[in-house]
Amino acid sequence: MSEGKVYYPVVHTEEILAILSKIAVFGGLNDRQLHEIFSLLKMLSYAPGEYVFKQGEAPSCIYIVLTGEVKIIYDIEGVTLELASFGAGDCFGETSVIGIQSHSSSALAVATSELIVLEHKALLDIFQTDKELFGLLILNIARETSRRLHRLDEVVAKYVLSKKDN
């Protein structure tokens, strides 16, 4: 739901580059590539209770939490489930940006939050200008998605076992 939000420039280059280098999506990138990514980043601020995006919306960005907290929530038949919570240095939205489908859940700021964003358009620009960097980003996103699916498999298996015992 970044539409209508006012982007502002990313400052504190070294601080942001240090954060990027610790995020799996940007893992293995060299200094030139990290600086290229940095040059494409923007900032957004969210107040507590403000949606970053809503379930069903088209994905628009990869988000990195600089400050604050964002919860990923899923609404099903009037019941809201909290799926994840992201704090400083965490990244979310990357799977949706490379997928074709709309967001399967919502992201809600639960505290005043500053987010660093890499827009979908910027990712497409990387595809046009630096295929090697684009390939690394997509591979990293695929790896992170696989890790999350693996953790989800464990959660679902434990849930099924708990229902079986009841």
Question: Is 140:73 a contact under the CB 8 Å cutoff?
Answer: no
Q: CA–CA separation, 139 vs 163, rounded Å? A: 36
Q: Is the pLDDT of residue 44 over 70?
A: yes
CATH number of this structure's domain 8-165: 2.60.120.10
Contact 39, 11 (CB under 8 A): no
pLDDT at 166: 67
How many whole angstroms separate alpha carbon 65 and alpha carbon 43?
10
Does this model's pTM top 0.85? yes
* pLDDT, tens digit, 9 for 90 and up, residues 150-159: 887 787 888 7
Express each pLDDT in 125-135 by its tens digit. Answer: 999 999 999 99
> pLDDT value at position 3?
62
How would you classify the pairing of strands 91-92 and 51-53?
unpaired
